[in-house]
Amino acid sequence: EDQVTQSPEALRLQEGESSSLNCSYTVSGLRGLFWYRQDPGKGPEFLFTLYSAGEEKEKERLKATLTKKESFLHITAPKPEDSATYLCAVQAIWGGKLTFGQGTILTVHP
Amino acid sequence: SQTIHQWPATLVQPVGSPLSLECTVEGTSNPNLYWYRQAAGRGLQLLFYSVGIGQISSEVPQNLSASRPQDRQFILSSKKLLLSDSGFYLCAWNNGVLDSGNTIYFGEGSWLTVV
């Protein structure tokens, strides 16, 4: 059974204080690992897809990396508008369904 | 471009009443469609997915059912709601066959409170 574990559950940062979110996964064959951002009361918004170990993708202050066992979402010099829940999900090779982690609630204080 | 619409956005229903949530996707053909539930604002649980009209797969036994009467329409229903059905319901879609690596995109969600 595919499993995704995200840590920490919640993270509080000061504006400009860089940090990383972790997503550990077990899947029998990885098709892709996805990162989403979710604002309160809204649907998840797609950020990145990573397909193979060593791959990296960037978008503004966010950078996602992937190894064979985990993925990191690095946030550089965050701003209050980066506050949201960040969700990680994996897609197995033989199924299009996504298995989600519980998410990390990020709060960035001005 | 593709868009996904989901309604109603919020609803409060008494225990034992029926439910119908509707989702439509525009700008694509033969999408894969999904219904997820998110409890307490955290992890998403897949409820149903569909690869075509009339083709529904259920992931967990529950009080809910899904139907796909048209290519880009997905409906989540219940005949009698339970308190435990309360939650945030999300419709989602992606292109291609089920085992593709295509990104899944979500609608804005429907908040259901059963009282």
Contact yes or no for A43 and B107 at CB 8 A: yes
List chain A residues with CB under 8 Å of B90.
43-44
Contact yes or no for A43 and B41 at CB 8 A: no
What confidence category does residue A29 fall into, taking pLDDT thresholds of 50, 70 and 90? confident
List chain B residues with CB under 8 Å of A40.
41
Domain extents in chain A: 3-109
List chain B residues with CB under 8 Å of A103.
42-43
Contact yes or no for A97 and B97 at CB 8 A: no
Contact yes or no for A49 and B101 at CB 8 A: yes
What is the percent of chain A where pLDDT is above 90?
85
Contact yes or no for A44 and B107 at CB 8 A: no
Read off the pLDDT of each residue in A44-55 and give the average, rounded to a whole number. 94
pLDDT at A86 over 90: yes
Return the CATH number of the domain spanning residue range B3-114: 2.60.40.10
Contact residues of B toward A, CB < 8 A:
6, 32, 34, 41-46, 49, 59, 90, 92, 94, 96-109, 111
Contact yes or no for B59 and A31 at CB 8 A: no
Per-residue pLDDT of chain B (115 residues; tens, 9 = 90+): 789 999 999 999 999 999 999 999 999 888 999 999 998 756 899 999 998 999 999 988 778 999 999 999 999 999 999 999 999 999 999 886 544 457 889 999 999 999 9
Q: Please name which of A32, A36, A31, A2 lies closest in space to residue A21, comparing C-alpha atoms.
A: A36
The predicted pLDDT at position B99 comes to: 47
List chain B residues with CB under 8 Å of A3.
none
What confidence category does residue A92 fall into, taking pLDDT thresholds of 50, 70 and 90? confident
SS (H, E, C) chain A: CCEEEEECCEEEEECCCCEEEEEEEECCCEEEEEEEEECCCCCCEEEEEECCCCCEEEECCEEEEECCCEEEEEECCCCHHHCEEEEEEEEECCCCCEEECCCEEEEEEC
A92 Cα to chain B: minimum distance (Å):
8
Domain extents in chain B: 3-114
The better pLDDT of the pair B33, A97 is held by: B33
- For chain A, the farthest-separated pair of C-alpha atoms sits apart, in whole angstroms, at 44
Q: How far is residue B82's CA from residue B17's CA, in Å, rounded to a whole number?
A: 9
Report the top-level CATH class of A3-109.
Answer: mainly beta
List chain B residues with CB under 8 Å of A89.
44
CA terminus-to-terminus distance, chain B = 38
- Choose the closest CB to B101 out of A31, A36, A40: A31
Nearest residue on chain B to A30, alpha-carbon basis: B101
